[in-house]
Amino acid sequence: MLHCLCWLAILAVWLPPAHAADPWYGDKERGWFWKEQPPPPPKPPQPQEVKPVVATPPASTQPPTATAEMAALKARLEEAKNAAILRPTPPNVATYLAMQEQAMDSAMLFTDMAQRVRWADPTLDYSFTHPTAAGGVRVDRQLTRAEEKATLNAVAKENGIFFFFKQNCPFCVEQGRILQALREAYPITVMAVSLDGATNPYFPDAKPDNGIAARMGVQDAPAMFIVNPQTQASLPLGYGVVPLDEIESRIRRLVTQPPGVY
């Protein structure tokens, strides 16, 4: 009995009071060597993406351009036409016809105003320098022919014509006849060159090709070039059969007029 009392006294001294029990005592399942991990530190807040504020531009106060107005007019007219075709009711067809009439009136007004402006400004009227009336056309042609003849007489002093032909070419024979007439009308030298050693009835003194055709870029026959023997400059007059008056016109344009001027 005394032995039991001693063990009870020892336990009473060793055990802590019940009201001061440690937390592990009430959670004995985790054992003696359980180590409590500290709670993880809070994550820093993610920075909020700041979206740029796009200012809405104010509505334009500028009036629409003429190009924009014309595009809108065409779109309305096209829409009215398509509606009239797909749904040909009297209102749809009447709407399209009315819009078409308005468009035609606008075009006629423009045409009439353009004529009035040309009448008032000779620099805008092509018929001022190139008449279209019968009498004006005749006078204009006479003046042009006089200029062509004067030009060809001047060109003939320093330039000649190379005429390239070949055998079994009836067009070459006809072009030879025309160039013979040109040589009789103007003091111009015509040098006939045979591409294949053949002869031409209008140029019995023709020379065989010695490579000059390739150097001048001759592609076929008959072919004609204006050539300056001093500077060795050349201008193509054309291929095929070219009538006499057309040769005169081309020489005048090539020698005296820049491109775009007639």
Q: In whole angstroms, give the CA distance from residue 125 to residue 109.
A: 18
Q: Homologous superfamily of 156-256 in CATH? A: Glutaredoxin (3.40.30.10)
Examine the pLDDT at 174 and tell me if it is beyond 70.
Answer: yes
For the entire predicted model, the pTM comes to 0.60
Cα(first)–Cα(last) distance of the chain, in Å?
148
Break the chain down into helix, strand, coil percent, rounded to 5: 55, 10, 35
The pLDDT tens digits of the residues spanning 183-215 come to 999 999 999 999 998 889 999 999 999 999 999
- The predicted model gives 77-88 an average pLDDT of 96
- The residue ranges of every structural domain in the chain are 69-116, 156-256
Q: How confident is the model at residue 98 (pLDDT cuts 50, 70, 90)?
A: very high
Q: Is 256 left (phi over 0), alpha (psi -120 to 50) or beta?
A: alpha
* pLDDT at res. 35: 53
Of the candidates 258, 242, 259, 255, the one whose C-alpha atom is nearest the C-alpha of residue 156 is 255
192, 165 Cβ separation under 8 angstroms: yes
CA distances (Å), origin 188, targets 59, 155, 170: 73, 8, 24
- The predicted model gives 241-251 an average pLDDT of 94
What's the whole-number average pLDDT of the chain?
84
* pLDDT at res. 179: 96
Q: Where are the beta strands (DSSP E) in 106-204?
A: 160-165, 189-194
Kindly state the percentage of the chain with pLDDT values over 70: 77
DSSP code of 49? P
